[in-house]
Amino acid sequence: MLKRTPLFEAHQKLGGKLIEFGGWEMPVQYTSITDEHLAVRNAAGIFDISHMGEITVSGDAAAEFLNSVLTNDIRKLSPGEGQYTLMCNERGGVVDDLYAYQLSGNVFFLVVNASRTPDDVQWLQKQWEAFPKKADVHMTDASHNYAAVAVQGPRVAEFINECITIPSTSGMRVAKVTDLKKNQIGGFPCHGASVLVSRTGYTGEDGFEIVGRDDSILHIWNLLLEKGKPFGIKPCGLGARDTLRTEMCYPLYGHELDENTTPIEAGVGFFVGLDKGEFVGRPVLADQKANGVKKKCVAFKMAEKSAPPRPHYPIWVNGAKAGEVVSGTQSPSLNAGIGLGYVPPEFSKAGTEIEIEIRGRRSKAVIVPKPIYRKG
Amino acid sequence: MSNVPSDLKYAKSHEWVRVAGDVATVGITDHAQHELTDVVFVELPESGRKVKAGEACAVVESVKTASDIYSPVSGEIIEVNKTVADNPALVNTDPYNGGWFYKIRLSDAAELNSLLAPDAYKAQIGG
């Protein structure tokens, strides 16, 4: 039985086309992926992200514990701030990528991928068992308590303050939501409860992610659609979420990331704090950083008219198979085929000419710098 | 509600057929284009190729996925619509005219009898 978010009926009313994703029944699109994508690039779009998992970690040794299992240095955070980070196995392979927020001195909030939540919880549990100060760390899978929306786009800051009107009372203390800076998070009273609002997203545009109780999120979803209407807001599905993140080269678990791929190979080494001390996977990651990797995640753009590249299409270099596409689509912003794939590092330089095999025929493509899409 | 012209025959897999003598023109229905949305690429068969009814012989790609198009009838492809290959959005905007895929010389006109009449296709798509 697929899980449904508290916005399920709202999606049906809006004509959303529903598909299975990570065990959830989610809207893939309402009108068209291209329209929704361009709404986010040019105005505003709202996404149901209630399927994401939430884990709270608290206690006197919470920061120390998280620093032993996550790649980024959690000590860089102050209360009210968040960071992108990854969780690796002993081989340096990625268990999940996530956002870690520090809500207060010893309270942390992790937002993880829907499809990975059970594995993450199990993995964290296993690490906790072996952690010397485990009595000082409390961990809860709070996913079932939370729904969430992402509201994204250059015009969002023009109307979000009309939806959340009271100053924050926890996390980053600000008078209004738009006073939050990138990666900051605050708890705001709203509709008789409290919601967590962070200035984050998965689209490359300015925007916010809002986490709260089911009824709060349904209220905010409706309010954002209403107040955002004059600014051109559109409800957006997973289809646009995928094309937007692909243009930005943000990894998606199961595509760029899996348990046999490291953050260094995936090109997110920036979020690996090798100098922070021991953490799971560090020896492998340090070795790769020093001595290089065997495969590297690259971005590419089709150089001739072709069908859009898709996951698992072979990548050819110099007349031989050299790798595989992991994400691919037609870019609505660039109106060209784009994608991400893995190739040996010697072929990873921007400008390298490659070919993508599409249904038995090879089409020319070129490796480009990340992100594939840049504003302006 | 989807447009289902009364002068065409339909395949369960959402292709339409317009017959003139022993030549049939083939495309995909308004319902199909609406389900696909955002057609960004159309791959057509080679002229001269012989296909069997039910054989995958073209591909239509939306932003999200690639979908095979199955020939509703058997025969030889005698012409393909180069205009739709250059402007795939025609499949969305004009599925029954400018958005046609190919013309095929029928090798077995009796196959037309097993295709759906407009009312039967309408019933299938629930409209």
**Sheet with B66-70: strands ordered across:** B39-43, B56-62, B66-70
**Residues A216 and A329 placed together within one structural domain of the fold:** no
B123 within domain boundaries: no
pLDDT, residue A191, reads 87
**What whole-number distance in Å separates Cα of residue B119 and Cα of residue B127?**
9
- H or E element: which one contains B23? strand B23-28
**Residues A43 and A60 placed together within one structural domain of the fold:** no
B117 within domain boundaries: no
**What whole-number distance in Å separates Cα of residue A342 and Cα of residue A139?**
35
* Rounded-to-5 percentages of helix, strand, coil across chain A: 30, 35, 35
pLDDT, residue A214, reads 96
Tell me: pLDDT of A202 over 90.
yes
What CATH number is attached to the domain comprising A161? Answer: 3.30.1360.120
Q: From the CB of residue A19, how many other CB atoms can be counted at a distance below 10 Å?
A: 16
- Cβ atoms of A188 and A230 closer than 8 Å: no
| Å between A303 CA and nearest CA of chain B | 15
**Residues A92 and A241 placed together within one structural domain of the fold:** no
| Å between A307 CA and nearest CA of chain B | 6
pLDDT, residue B1, reads 73
SS (H, E, C) A247-283: HHCCCCECCCECCCCCHHHHCCHHHCCHHHCCCCCHH
Tokens of A22: 């990570």
- Cβ atoms of A85 and A99 closer than 8 Å: yes
**Residues A77 and A151 placed together within one structural domain of the fold:** no
- H or E element: which one contains A336? strand A336-343
Domain boundary among A119, A141, A163: A141
A286 within domain boundaries: no
What CATH number is attached to the domain comprising B69? Answer: 2.40.50.100
Number of independent structural domains in chain A: 3
- Cβ atoms of A63 and A69 closer than 8 Å: no
Per-residue pLDDT reduced to its tens digit, A160-190 = 999 999 999 999 999 999 999 999 999 999 9
A205 within domain boundaries: yes
pLDDT, residue A246, reads 98
Residue contacts between A and B (CB atoms, under 8 Å)? 42
A287 within domain boundaries: no
Domain range for A222 is 8-50+146-246
- H or E element: which one contains B120? helix B118-124
**What whole-number distance in Å separates Cα of residue A48 and Cα of residue A11?**
9
**Cβ contact A33–B62 (<8 Å):** yes
Q: Looking at this predicted complex, what is its ipTM?
A: 0.89
The alpha-helical segments, DSSP class H, found in chain A are: 8-13, 33-42, 62-69, 117-129, 160-163, 214-228, 238-248, 263-266, 282-291
Lowest mean pLDDT: which of A117-121, A132-136, B63-67, B75-79? B63-67
What CATH number is attached to the domain comprising A350? Answer: 2.40.30.110
A320 within domain boundaries: yes
- Mean pLDDT for B42-71 is 96
Tell me: pLDDT of B127 over 70.
no
**Cβ contact A330–B43 (<8 Å):** no
Residue of A nearest to B43 (CA): A307
Which residues of chain A lie closer than 8 angstroms to B37, CB-CB? 29, 31-34
Tell me: pLDDT of A35 over 80.
yes
A256 within domain boundaries: no
Domain boundary among A114, A141, A168: A141
A182 within domain boundaries: yes
Per-residue pLDDT reduced to its tens digit, A313-348 = 999 999 999 999 999 999 999 999 999 999 999 999
Identity of the amino acid at A288: Q
Tell me: pLDDT of A228 over 70.
yes
Which residues of chain A lie closer than 8 angstroms to B43, CB-CB? 307, 359
Domain range for B57 is 9-107
What CATH number is attached to the domain comprising A101? Answer: 3.30.70.1400
Q: How confident is the model at residue A1 (pLDDT cuts 50, 70, 90)?
A: confident
- Mean pLDDT for A100-120 is 97
**Residues A160 and A216 placed together within one structural domain of the fold:** yes
Tell me: pLDDT of A48 over 90.
yes
Q: A314-317 and A353-358: which strand pairing?
A: antiparallel
Q: Phi/psi at B117 (nearest 5 deg)?
A: -75, 160
Name the average pLDDT for chain A.
Answer: 97
**What whole-number distance in Å separates Cα of residue A344 and Cα of residue A124?**
32
B113 within domain boundaries: no
Residues on chain A bordering chain B, Cβ-to-Cβ distance under 8 angstroms: 28-29, 31-34, 37, 239, 242-243, 306-308, 310, 329-330, 332, 359
**Residues A27 and A110 placed together within one structural domain of the fold:** no
pLDDT, residue B126, reads 87
B24 within domain boundaries: yes
**Residues A72 and A189 placed together within one structural domain of the fold:** no
Number of independent structural domains in chain B: 1
Between CA A289 and CA A124, with CA A182 as vertex, the angle to 5 degrees is 55
A275 within domain boundaries: no
B36 within domain boundaries: yes
pLDDT-above-70 percentage for chain A? 100
B79 within domain boundaries: yes
**Residues A27 and A152 placed together within one structural domain of the fold:** yes
B17 within domain boundaries: yes
Residues on chain B bordering chain A, Cβ-to-Cβ distance under 8 angstroms: 37-38, 40-41, 43, 59, 61-64, 66
Per-residue pLDDT reduced to its tens digit, B66-103 = 999 999 999 999 999 999 999 999 999 999 999 999 99
**Cβ contact A308–B38 (<8 Å):** no
Residue of A nearest to B41 (CA): A307
- Mean pLDDT for A196-224 is 98
DSSP string, A89-157: -TTS-EEEEEEEEEEETTEEEEEE-GGGHHHHHHHHHHHHHT-TTGGG-EEEE-GGG-EEEEEESTTGG
Tell me: pLDDT of A376 over 90.
no
**What whole-number distance in Å separates Cα of residue A2 and Cα of residue A12?**
15
**Residues A186 and A232 placed together within one structural domain of the fold:** yes
A237 within domain boundaries: yes
pLDDT, residue B53, reads 97
